[in-house]
């Protein structure tokens, strides 16, 4: 339940920030403190851009699938960064679990999207 609440808050704050700063690249204003920080920032920017692009669809189902696909891909990229740089066993296990859980959901959404062609 806590994970759902945290994820919901992340989505809401991401969307709220995007509305006011849709043309800003977040990495322009943040100086990374390490290679891991740079990878996290790059991955989050890519995820944010994909989510915003997906949300522009006129079809709410397509918008959801496209935005959530980008979000899940971002989560996987962050998990891979954690596995590359992180040392804590609990966080490494969580990163592995995120990859295992979200890749099938990405596959499901992408398969569904293949059947949808916006005109």
pLDDT tens digit sequence for 25-38: 544 566 768 888 88
Which tokens belong to 67? Answer: 């935005």
What is the signed CA dihedral for 3, 91, 79, 18, rounded to 10 degrees? 50
pLDDT of residue 25: 52
Q: Which of 3, 4, 85 is nearest to 38 (CA)?
A: 85
For residues 85-96, give the mean pLDDT: 97
Q: Is pTM beyond 0.95 here?
A: no
pLDDT digits (tens, 9 = 90+) for 93-110: 999 999 999 999 999 999
Residue with tokens 């709220």: 16
């Amino acid at each position: 339940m806590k994970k759902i609440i945290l994820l919901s808050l992340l989505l809401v704050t991401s969307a709220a920030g995007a509305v006011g700063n849709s043309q800003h690249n977040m990495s322009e204003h943040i100086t990374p403190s390490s290679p891991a920080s740079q990878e996290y920032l790059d991955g989050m920017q890519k995820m944010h851009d994909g989510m915003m692009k997906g949300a522009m669809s006129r079809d709410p189902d397509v918008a959801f699938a496209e935005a959530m696909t980008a979000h899940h891909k971002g989560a996987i990229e962050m998990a891979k960064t954690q596995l590359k740089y992180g040392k804590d066993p609990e966080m490494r296990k969580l990163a592995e679990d995120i990859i295992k859980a979200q890749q099938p959901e990405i596959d499901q959404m992408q398969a569904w999207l293949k059947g949808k062609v916006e005109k």
